[in-house]
């Protein structure tokens, strides 16, 4: 039947901070599955982690480069953008997912420098990434869009969290940073829309990540990925969420939100939590 859509959903170039492992790498894989011509993984991980993440992307036939960069250092994120453009010529989709969980301790017991680090990585790092991604995107032509749709020079997706909407005891730094991500997404979106760039954020629910497990171990002495105390705590979260979530479910949402098909979605916080934030009681 004529008029049916065909071809890759996301054929452009993707730039992903925190892309070497975890949710960030799942996003990269989702872009690869949907036909992205090139993907840049930006992270601070070691060579072995980078290679594992790169291989997971390349098996779908996508060219993938790795860039070691600390998102809290403006010169490094600026360099990462420049290196990506040097290789691929442009950046069509950016996903800012470099982050840490930070200390899971009460305000009165939290080390100030540890709290500041969460703000630097999860808030300032996202802002710096968005700043330099946007500077590149507004200089380039639009990616190909369907007839009748507005141009899209780029899309930026920031990583917020259900903690951008609510909070929990012992998460003051993380919650503050994620509320800030939602705020800067809205402000940035209003600035960028006239330049044919869309900025949105997503709020994943509860996924068992290595970073979260490390902080849970520090706070309780038990592994969230295998210890009995961690399992009990996690079961409470997943009961309210409805089921266990997978990284690729977040990856696919980010890809869909990045495409020009979402042309009127601007400054939105897409919650990916199975109903966690609307559920008063575990069910």
**What are the residue numbers of the active site?**
174
Q: Which secondary structure element, helix H or strand E, spans residue 65, and what is its range? A: strand 63-68
Residue 73 CA to residue 216 CA, distance in Å, equals: 27
User: Residue 217, exposed/middle/buried by CB under 10 A (0-12, 13-18, 19+)?
Assistant: middle
CB 236 within 8 A of CB 259: no
In angstroms, what CA-CA distances link 119 with 31, 35, 73, 164, 171? Answer: 28, 34, 13, 13, 12
In angstroms, what CA-CA distances link 122 with 117, 142, 181? Answer: 8, 29, 8
Beta bridge partners of 154: 197
Residue 155 CA to residue 147 CA, distance in Å, equals: 19
């Amino acid at each position: 039947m004529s008029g049916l859509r065909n071809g890759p959903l996301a054929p452009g170039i993707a730039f992903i901070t925190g892309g070497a492992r975890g949710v960030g790498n799942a996003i990269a894989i989702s872009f690869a599955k949907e036909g992205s011509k090139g993907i840049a993984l930006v992270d601070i991980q070691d060579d072995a982690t980078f290679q594992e993440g790169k291989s997971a992307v390349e098996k779908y036939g996508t060219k993938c480069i790795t860039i070691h960069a600390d998102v809290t250092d403006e010169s490094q994120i600026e360099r990462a953008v420049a290196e990506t453009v040097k290789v691929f010529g442009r950046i069509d989709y950016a996903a800012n997912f470099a982050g840490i969980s930070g200390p899971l301790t009460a305000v009165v017991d939290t080390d100030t420098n540890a709290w500041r680090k969460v703000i630097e990585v999860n808030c300032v790092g996202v802002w710096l990434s968005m700043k330099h991604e946007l500077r590149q995107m507004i200089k380039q032509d639009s990616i190909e869009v369907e007839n009748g749709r507005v141009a899209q020079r780029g899309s930026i997706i920031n990583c917020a969290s259900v903690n951008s909407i609510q909070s929990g005891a012992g998460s003051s730094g993380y919650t503050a940073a994620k509320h800030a991500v939602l705020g800067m997404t809205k402000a940035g979106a209003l600035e960028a829309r006239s330049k044919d760039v869309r900025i949105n954020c997503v709020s994943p629910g509860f996924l068992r990540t290595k970073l979260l497990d490390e902080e849970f171990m520090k706070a309780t002495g038990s592994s969230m990925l295998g210890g009995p105390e961690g399992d009990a705590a996690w079961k409470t979260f997943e009961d309210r969420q409805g089921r266990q979530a997978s990284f690729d479910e977040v990856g696919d949402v980010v890809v869909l939100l990045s495409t020009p098909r979402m042309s009127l979605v601007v400054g939105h916080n897409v919650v990916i939590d199975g109903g966690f934030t609307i559920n008063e009681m575990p069910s």
